[in-house]
Structure 1
Amino acid sequence: MKYALASLGFAALASCVLLAQDAAPLAFDVASVKPNRTGESSTHIGHNGGTLTVTNATLKYCILRAYGVADAQVSGPAWLDTERYDIVAKAAADATNDQHPLRLRALLAERFQLAVHRETKEASVYALIVAKNGPKMKKEEIGDAGDGDIASNRGHVTAQAVSMNHLATFLAGPRAALGRGVINQTGLDGRYSFTLDWTPEGINPSGPDSPPPILAALQEQLGLKVETRKAPVEILFIDHAEKIPTEN
């Protein structure tokens, strides 16, 4: 049975991946993939040179990272949201972070037998832009270093030296739950560090000092906002996926 995913080419990270499809396939040199049975809800992803570390991630989350899929547009088997995994994948030390999505695709195909095909249509998306009073994030002076890391838990984000493309990808994913894809139109180059706190949808504020909903938090804390635009939406059909990854 086939399941449909709707995804966006909403981040430059994902766009670079799509443009590189005709190049020789990239893959990690070695990888460990293990089920995570801790029962924790938080997911962490980190990059260190050629190493990608993903902790307590669902397969859907991995697909989001590999293909630029907007979570709210995903239609698939329920276990994509429930089964969690730890991944440590290593490439050459000089491998760049913008290559990780392609390498992650190859890893998902090898270890989960993930097979997909795609179609495209027009749909509403969010454009991430700078608010009237300008950005409120710390810009990092890190030269040509690769993209940084976003660590998240429900209603809280700590970002270290991340691009606005990376933030747009995060906002389109399951932790932010904006309900549609996000494209980076901030015009901000470089890498930024920040924290973001909000009250997730469906959670009652615990008191007058509770953080605001995420869109208000973006503007108040980061100096960013979103506007609705039309953009091409990629429909990703999952032809096959295994719940149990192949052995290390």
Structure 2
Amino acid sequence: MKRLLSVLGMFCVVSAVALAQEKPATKPSFVIADVHDSPYARQVYSVGGPMHGDRYNLRQSTLVDIIALAYGVKPEMVQGGPSWLEMRRFDVVAKADPKTSEADQKLMLQSLLAERFGLVMHKGEAPLPAYVLTAPGGKTKMKQSPEDAERNCKPQNGQEMAGGAPLNVISCSGFSADEIATLLAQVANNYLPDPVLNQTRLEGKWEFTIKWTDMRQRAKAGAEAVSIFNSVQNDLGLMLERKTAPRPVWIVDRASETPTPNSPAVAKELPPLPMPQFEVSTIKPSGPNSKPGGMIRNGQMTLSMIPIKFLLTYAWDFNPNDPQMIVNMPAWIETDKFDIVAKAAMPEPVAGQLPPQIEDRELRLMLQQLLMERFNMKVHMEERPIEAYTIYADHPKLKAADPTSRTHCKEGPGPDGKDPRQANPMLTALFTCQNVSMRELAAQLAEFATGYVYTLPVDATGLTGRYDLTMAWSSASLTVLKPPPAPGQPVSSDPDGAVTLDEAMHSQLGLKMVKTKRPVQVLVIDHVEETPTAN
């Protein structure tokens, strides 16, 4: 009996040790984190991620963006969860040891998601849209490459035409079928918004030439446009079709829309960092040898033959197509051209971290300051009546959404995979939304249809439901000469021609877009001098 008790005692001790060993290690956490709703931005996209010094910053990020970053997956691999997961945006400012590894930064972000949003997920599998590459009958028009052939591609763009547009031409060798699928997803991403999966069952390496019309050039090419789908079939002898395919995913079981409150110590522990400054800047009138162009990237601007109006619209984040947002603007601001070189003072890089980055919103503020100093400019913001769209219901053609589905809008086909741009090259935009309110649709149009919509539209439809919709239209540059309908005549569109956004809204959704005057915050120039101060 004593021996049995002794054995049981030893078993309990060993079991306790085993359980202690099996208990998952606690994930590291940020020292402190400020999590709050993102401020309004005209165009929104998630930015940030890598640490700079002791700060970890994310801006304009949905919870899907944050989960994808934390777990090292693509956003489409995050499925399930509440409807707001892809729409509500957050800023995250967190503090950690500057030497924190990238792997530990992800673990810290995982901890933040669990602690602040109550995130619970599990791994699973889900059928997701994908473009599937197959070889009917196991045959192909490609040539076999030697097994030791190195992977190589040579672009030959501009050498061949289809209609009035150049063809994209790439000749490649040494590619496996998997690598061909990856290549197609990279070079033709405006045709292929979803992943390309190889199901050809082709072995070995291959050489081939593929020729297609860029999606943005299809209107110029007209009926002779060659889609990537035609090219894959005609040049490679393969089929590329949009289907659904099971893929491993993370499934969100639970997440709180409102994060837990920030610590009272946030203000002390995470004070705002000093605003970056341009350490070097030169502004001078463009000379006879200047050529238009340049770049704006990571705190650096090199611009040539640029009107000051362009800089104003960029600095104050206005739609550059809208002539109403800057008031009291002297004529020379649009006509005089300048060459500008400006470089921000960058913080010292930290070993093991990516080089420091200047956020876009910081660069805009820096440019505002530069313009005001160098052109002795004084401005203020005030409300003025301007023309902007209001959306009304006419004869709605809207499909009621599943209220439990995730709310999102994207460029590309809907669940049925149909793409009207293939039949009508004049259609350049394909817009799909799921489970959106009319107010959310209005906000998304301001982001996706910037050639038409300059200011956030107002929803006056009176529709209170949530809807799924798909809509296609032509870029504003293709419809600028299209006359408006005669008074009292319905909006109509030519099935083989350009379709304005107004026409698409009316014919495809049964909604009307009407320009009306309403007060909007504009930039008023009180004083500006034509000659900049000396460099």
1:58 maps onto 2:307 in alignment: yes
Q: Deviations over 1:168-215 (max 9, x none)?
A: 5994xxxx5x5x733499xxxxxxxxxx783473599xxxxxx94875
**What is the SS of the residue equivalent to 2:277?**
coil
* Structure 1: tracts of 5 or more residues without a match: 1-8, 17-21, 138-163, 186-195, 205-210, 220-225
1:111-130 counterparts in 2 under 5 A?
Answer: 111-121=374-384, 123-125=386-388
Q: What 5-or-longer segments of structure 2 have no aligned partner? A: 1-39, 45-58, 60-271, 347-355, 391-397, 399-408, 413-442, 459-474, 484-496, 506-511
Q: Are the counterparts in 2 of residues 26 and 102 from structure 1 also a CA contact under 8 Å?
A: no
Contact 1:31/1:90 (<8 A) preserved? yes
> Which structure shows the higher strand fraction?
1
Question: In structure 2, the residue corresponding to 1:29 is in which secondary structure?
Answer: strand
**1:242 maps to 2:242:** no
Greater radius of gyration (CA): 2
Q: What amino acid maps onto 1:181 in structure 2?
A: Y
Equivalent-residue separation in structure 2 for 1:120 and 1:247 (angstroms): 34
1:4 corresponds in structure 2 to: none
Q: How does 1:73-84 map to 2 (within 5 A)?
A: 73=324, 74-75=326-327, 76-84=329-337
With over 3 angstroms needed to count, the CA separation of the structure-2 counterparts of 1:203 and 1:38, relative to structure 1, is: farther
From 28, 33, 41, give the equivalent of 2:278: 28
Find the aligned partners of 1:247 and 1:29 in 2 and give their Cα distance: 15
The Cα shift of 1:49 comes to: 2.3
User: Is this contact kept in 2: 1:11–1:184, CA < 8 A?
Assistant: no
Distance 1:51 1:118, change over 3 A: same
Distance 2:501 2:309 in 1: 23
Aligned residue runs from structure 1 range 60-209, under 5 A:
60-70=309-319, 71-73=322-324, 74-75=326-327, 76-91=329-344, 92=346, 93-121=356-384, 123-125=386-388, 135-136=410-411, 168=447, 171=450, 178=452, 181-183=454-456, 198-199=477-478, 201=480
SS in 1 for 2:323: strand
CA deviation digits over 1:31-87, x for unaligned, max 9?
1212224598x9645333221233322111111111134532134211111001122
Alpha-carbon contact 2:42-2:318 (below 8 Å) kept: no
Q: Which has the higher contact order (CA 8 A, sep 6+)?
A: 1
Moved more, 95-104 or 45-54: 45-54
CA contact (8 A) 1:168 1:182 kept: no
Q: Normalized per residue, which structure has more helix?
A: 2
TM normalised by structure 2 equals 0.27
Distance 1:26 1:126 in 2: 37
Deviations 1:89-132 (A, max 9, x none): 111253222311101001101111111012125655359xxxx9
Change (3 A) 1:23 1:49: closer
State the shift of 1:29 in Å: 1.8
**Is 1:47 aligned to residue 296 of structure 2?**
yes
Taking the aligned partners of 1:67 and 1:104, their CA distance within structure 2 comes to 9
Identity of aligned residues (%): 25
Question: Which residue number corresponds to residue 520 of structure 2?
Answer: 233
Q: Which residue of 2 aligns with 1:150?
A: none
Name the stretch that deviates more: 98-107 or 68-77: 68-77
CA 1:24–1:12: 2 relative to 1, 3 Å: farther
Distance 2:289 2:518 in 1: 37
CA–CA distance in structure 2, aligned partners of residues 182 and 61 of structure 1: 17
Distance 1:47 1:201 in 2: 29
8 Å Cα contact 2:306/2:339 also seen in 1: yes
> Which amino acid in 1 is paired with 2:42?
A
Aligned length: 180
